[in-house]
Structure 1
Amino acid sequence: MSRSTRTCSLRSAAAIALTSSFLITGFGASIAHAEPAPSAPQFGSLDFGSSNFGSAEQTPDAPRLTGIDNFRDVAGTGAGYSGTLGLPVNKGVFYRANAITPKGDDMSILEKLGLTKVYDLRTEPEIASKPDVLPDGVAYENIPILSGNIAEMVAKIKSPEDSRSMMQDMNRAFVTGATERAGFAQLLTGLAETEGAQVFHCTAGKDRTGWTSFLLLSIAGVDRSVIMNDYLLTNEYTAEGMKATRAGIAASLGEQMAVNMEPLLGVEASYLDAGLAQLDQTYGSVDRYLTEGLGLSPATVMTLKAKLLG
C-alpha cells in the first residue's frame, strides 16, 4: 500500500469513528419503486364520535437530560401537538431519544417516568460502542433497522452535497427498503401491543427515530408542517453535541472534512422531504404505507391512534 493510499484510509477511518455516534445507519442498498395500489382505509381521518375524547390534563413536559440530549416526548411540549378533530396528542405515552446513556441525575429522572419498554433501533456495532443503561425493570428490545454499510458510505463523502444525498437516500429507503419496513413494522406493532410509557431510539435520535415519530404523529392526524418543525428540533436539542463533534473532525482531519461531513450531524428539511416524496410516490398516503408497505393491520393502527389521542 502506498503512503498516500494509507493516509487516505486512515483519514476515512478516523472520520467514520468521529461521526459514528451521530449518524443514522438506515441506508437502503437497493431502492425499488412500486406501482400505486388500490385505496386503503384512511386512518388519519377517523372520527371516534366523541367530543370528550382525549385527555383533559396532559402529562408534564419530558425532562431535558444531560446524557441523552435528544430525549423528548413525541407529543411535544407545552400544550403539545393537535391531532384529529383538534384533539391533543397525549404526553407521557411515547418518548423518542438518542442512545440511552444517562449522566448525573438522568437515571433518577428516568425512573420517575414509569417507563415499561425501550426499543433500540441500532445495529450491533452501534450498540457495542454505546450500550444503553436502563432503569431497573424496563424491558429492552433491539430492532436493528439497517441495510447497507455505513462505513463504506461515509468513506465516499467528498463534499457537503454527498452527505446530503446520503441522508436523503436513507430516508427514501425507509419507504422502499425491505429491511427498514420490516423493522418499522415490528416497532409499531410493539408500541401498540405494549402497555405503559415506551421509548424508541437510535444512535442520534434523528433519522430512524425521526421517521418513527413522523409515522406516529401522522397516525394521530398532526399536520405535516408541524411534524416537520418537530423533526428539525434535533438541531436545537443536540446543538452542543453537534458542535463538539464538528470541532473534533476539524481538529483531527481538517476544516474541509468537517465542512463535508457537517450535514451528517444534524437534520435538514430535505432529508425528511425525500422520504415523504418517496412515500407519496410509492403508496400515495401514510395509511397505505402502514397497511401495504409495513403490513400493519387496521386494528394495530387504530390501537396506536387510541393511545395517542385516547
Structure 2
Amino acid sequence: MSRHGSRIAGSLLVTSGVLLAGFSGAGLAQADPVLPPALAELLNSGSAGLGSVGAGQTAPDAPRLASVPNFRDVAGTGAGYAGANGKNLNKGVFYRADAIVPNDADLTTLEGLKLSAVYDLRSDQEVHDKADRVPAGAEYVRIPILSGNINDMVGLIKTPEDARNMMRQMNQAFVTGANEKDGFKQLLTELANTPGAQVYHCTAGKDRTGWTSMLLQSIAGVNDATIMSDYLLTNEYNKEWAAKTRAYIVATKGEEVAKLFDPLFGVEASYLQAGLDQVKADYGTVDKYLTDGLGLDQATIGKLKAKLLR
C-alpha cells in the first residue's frame, strides 16, 4: 500500500473501530443467504424491541437506537438466549454498544433503562474524537483495552485479506496481550460487582465489545453457534452506517480504497474464531482462559453467572 493509502487507513482507524466524519464502526451484510439463529430470532421478534415482553415475564427487548445503532442486549431478544441448566439469559442486565453518542431522543430512552454504569473500552484518542454522552444516573468508567499499534498494522495492508488478517490478529491479542487481559479482567470484575443494569462499549461495538459478549455468553452456557451468530449481528445492526461510511470513502478516496478496507467495517466469523483458536491453543477452554489467563476467581465468575441466568 502506498504511503498515501497508509495515511488514509490511519485516519480511518483507531484501535478496532472505524472513525470517519461522524460515522463510527460499520458492518457489512453477510453474503450467506441463510439467516443465523440470533438474526432470525431478532427479525421474528420485531426489530424495534420496544416494550415487548417474552415468555415468563422477561424484561423488554433492548430498544433500537438510531444514533447508537449497535446497542443491544447481551441476552438477546424474546425469551433470551438459551443458557446452562435449561435456563434462559436474563435480559435487561448487561448491554453492549458502539460509542455512546445518543441524540436527545435516544438519550431519553437510555435514561429510561436506569443504567448504573457505562464502561468505555476505547483508547484516549478514540474518546477525544467522540466523547460519550453519559445517561443521567450512570457512572462513567474508562477501561482502555488496546490491540497493538494500529498505525503500524494498517501500514502493512495491501489487500483485503491483509485487512482480515489484521482483525484476526486483534482477536488473538485479546488472549495473548497483557494489557488486553488486564482490561477484560477489570471489566468482568466490575460487571460482576456493580448492581443494576450496565453497558460496555468500544467505538464500533464489534471487537473489544464482541469479545466481552462472547465471554459473558460462554459463562452463561450459551452454545457456540448462538454466540457466533450473535457476534455477526453487528453486520445487521450497523448495515446502514456501513453503507454511509463506504459511500463517503468512495466519494473522497475512491472505490479501490473502499475495497481495501471493506473487511474492517464489520465482522466475519474468522475474526472471533481466531481468538477462540488462540484460547484453545493457550488454555484449552474459555473457562481456563477466564481463570488462568485473566485471573478471575470462581466467586466473580459465579456472580456473573447468577446475573446472566434466570
Using structure 1 for the length normalisation, give the TM-score: 0.85
Code of the residue aligned with 2:152 in structure 1: it is E
Equivalent runs, 1:210-249 vs 2, <5 Å: 210-249=210-249
TM-aligned CA deviation for residue 304 of structure 1: 0.2
1:1-310 paired onto structure 2 within 5 Å:
8-20=2-14, 23=17, 56-310=56-310
CA positional deviation for 1:16 = 2.7
Q: Which has the larger radius of gyration?
A: 1
- C-alpha distance in 2, partners of 1:154/1:93? 36
Counterpart contact for 1:15–1:253, Cα < 8 Å:
no
Give me the whole-angstrom Cα distance separating, in 2, the residues matched to 1:114 and 1:133.
15
Partner Cα separation in structure 2 for residue 273 and residue 24 of structure 1: 21
CA distance in 2, matches of 1:71, 1:83: 21
How far apart are the structure 2 equivalents of 1:22 and 1:287? 25
Structure 1 Cα separation of the partners of residues 91 and 79 of structure 2 = 10
Corresponding residue of 1:35: none
Indicate if the aligned counterparts of 2:15 and 2:150 stay in contact, CA closer than 8 A: no
Give the C-alpha shift of residue 10 in structure 1: 4.3
User: What letter is aligned with 2:10?
Assistant: I
Q: In 2 relative to 1, CA 211–147 (structure 1 residues): closer, same or farther, beyond 3 Å?
A: closer
Q: Using a 3 Å threshold, how does the CA distance of structure 1 residues 173 and 220 change in structure 2: closer, same or farther?
A: same
Identity %: 59
Matches of 1:146 and 1:22, distance apart in 2: 8
User: Counterparts of 1:75 and 1:143 in 2: how far apart (Å)?
Assistant: 22
Q: What code does the residue aligned with 1:12 have?
A: S
Aligned to 1:32: none
Distance apart, 1:11 and its partner CA: 3.9
Counterparts of 1:18 and 1:145, CA distance in 2: 19
Query: 1:121–1:143: 8 Å Cα contact kept in structure 2?
Result: yes
Contact 1:98 1:203 in 2 (8 A): yes
Structure 1 residue identity aligned to 2:175:
V
Give, in whole Å, the separation in 2 of the partners of 1:96 and 1:24: 17
CA RMSD of the aligned region, Å? Answer: 1.8
SS in structure 1 of the partner of residue 88 of structure 2:
coil
Distance 2:150 2:140 in 1: 24
How far apart, in 2, do the equivalents of 1:75 and 1:147 lie? 26
**1:252 CA displacement:** 2.0
Tell me how far apart the structure 1 counterparts of residues 157 and 98 of structure 2 sit (CA, whole Å). 24
Any idea what SS the aligned residue of 2:284 has? coil
TM-aligned CA deviation for residue 146 of structure 1: 0.7
What TM-score does the superposition give when structure 2 sets the normalisation length?
A: 0.85
- The 2-side partners of 1:271 and 1:105 are apart by 34
CA positional deviation for 1:9: 3.7
Q: CA deviation at 1:291?
A: 0.5
In 2: Cα distance, 1:208 partner to 1:237 partner: 17
Determine the C-alpha separation between the residues in 1 that align with 2:270 and 2:71.
23
Determine the C-alpha separation between the residues in 2 that align with 1:230 and 1:19: 24
- Structure 1: 4+ residue segments shifted above 4 A: 19-22
Equivalent pair of 1:96/1:205 in contact (CA under 8 Å): yes
CA distance in 1, matches of 2:106, 2:243: 22
**By how many angstroms is 1:12 displaced?**
2.6
User: Matched residues in 2 for 1:9 and 1:87: separation?
Assistant: 53
Amino acid at match of 2:187: L
The gaps in structure 2 that reach 5 residues or longer are: 20-54
d(CA) in 2 for partners of 1:12, 1:253: 12
Contact 1:18/1:245 (CA < 8 Å) preserved in 2? no
Q: Deviations over 1:172-202 (max 9, x none)?
A: 1111111110000000000000000000000
Structure 1 contact 24–206 (Cα < 8 Å) conserved: no
Aligned equivalents of 1:66 and 1:257: distance in 2? Answer: 27
8 Å CA contact retained: 1:116, 1:196: yes
**Offset at residue 22 of structure 1 (A):** 6.8
Distance 2:240 2:194 in 1: 34
SS at 1:136 equivalent: coil
